[in-house]
Amino acid sequence: MPLLRESILSTLYARLSPLPATVRRDDILPERIPAAGLIILRDGQPGEPEVTLSPLRYHYQHRAELEVVVQAGTGRASAFDTLIASIGTALEADRTLGGLCDWVEPEAPASVDLPVEGAAALKAALITVVLHYTTTGPLA
């Protein structure tokens, strides 16, 4: 049986997969960005949990990251905004990921334009997704 953390990250990946952009998990940035954009889910870090006793519980605020990249000519900003909005809609549809999390909270994207020699520039952002969940132990 997988750890709760892995179940949550797999479910988050599955929630993002139907989006029009290509979705990958812990992958490298490819040389070519798909026309609809690219989302790379990075597992991130669970951080230091808050611990409660009786019963013993570990409360995590796991910080996963989404690398979002769009490479399009003149419509790059619009395509980027549409992709960011679709991520928000997918996460808001079920803030508990089917009951695995107490709450899923995306942070505002920090976007940048990245020049590419001989090609259209990339518009990219890093979106931190905070996954609030509770386990019975650090390895549960």
Residue 18, preceding peptide bond in cis (omega within 30° of 0): no
What are the pLDDT digits (tens) for 126-135?
999 999 999 9
Helix (H) or strand (E) run with residue 112 in it = strand 110-116
Residue reference for tokens 């994207």: 109
Nearest to 111 by CA among 83, 73, 75: 83
What are the pLDDT digits (tens) for 92-118?
999 999 999 999 999 999 888 887 777
Q: What would the mean pLDDT of 26-32 be, rounded to a whole number?
A: 91
pLDDT averaged over every residue in the chain: 93
**All domains of the chain in start order, with CATH:** 4-135 (3.30.2000.10)
Return the amino acid letter for 10: S
Per-residue confidence (pLDDT) for residue 125, from 0 to 100: 95
Write the CB contacts of 104 (distance below 8 Å, at least 6 apart in sequence).
12, 91, 95, 96, 97, 129, 130, 131, 132
The residue among 27 and 117 whose pLDDT is bigger is 27
